[in-house]
Amino acid sequence: MKLTIKELAPYLPYGLKIIDSYNGQIHSIDKGETLDYVLQWYKGDKPHKIILRPLSDLTKEIEHNGERFVPYDRTTEGMMRGRSYQDRIIIENRLATNTILYQDMIYLISLHFDVFSLIENNLAIDINTLNN
């Protein structure tokens, strides 16, 4: 499987970090970057991978833009039901069956959650595996 623009494009409006597989350097693709820059990276010879959060982080406290919170609590499902032991499974099932609410999908993408199973397919790096 190869990373396609279909999986990459939804993340671009929210900024994205990529890692160079050769030297481990992390680069940012900011939401203000030009399409030429993004395509240059995407079609480049160097193997880069995007850095994403696994869905297992949904019920854990994360830091995003300097704020700490539990992402699931801010989803529609979380606000309606409260937290339970099945939270992540509910969201994963909704993603798998394409029944997740649009605003929740956008929310997960904006927090760089791996909604396309890219980590599992070795097309992205789990943010939790990075040293810093």
Same domain flag for 38 and 84? no
Place of tokens 């279909």: 6
For the chain, what is the domain count?
2
Read off the pTM: 0.79
Residues 98 and 121 in one domain: no
What value does the mean pLDDT of the chain take? 79
| Residue 104 in domain | yes
Averaged over 34-52, what is the pLDDT? 66
Asked if residue 81 and residue 127 are part of one domain, the reply reads: no
Same domain, 60 and 99: yes
Say if residue 45 is in the same domain as residue 14.
yes
Same domain, 71 and 120: no
Domain of residue 97 covers 55-113
* Interatomic CA distance for residues 127 and 132, integer angstroms: 9
What's the CA gap between 84 and 8, in Å, rounded?
A: 31
CA–CA separation, 43 and 5 (whole Å): 10
Question: Hey, is 23 helix, strand or coil?
Answer: coil
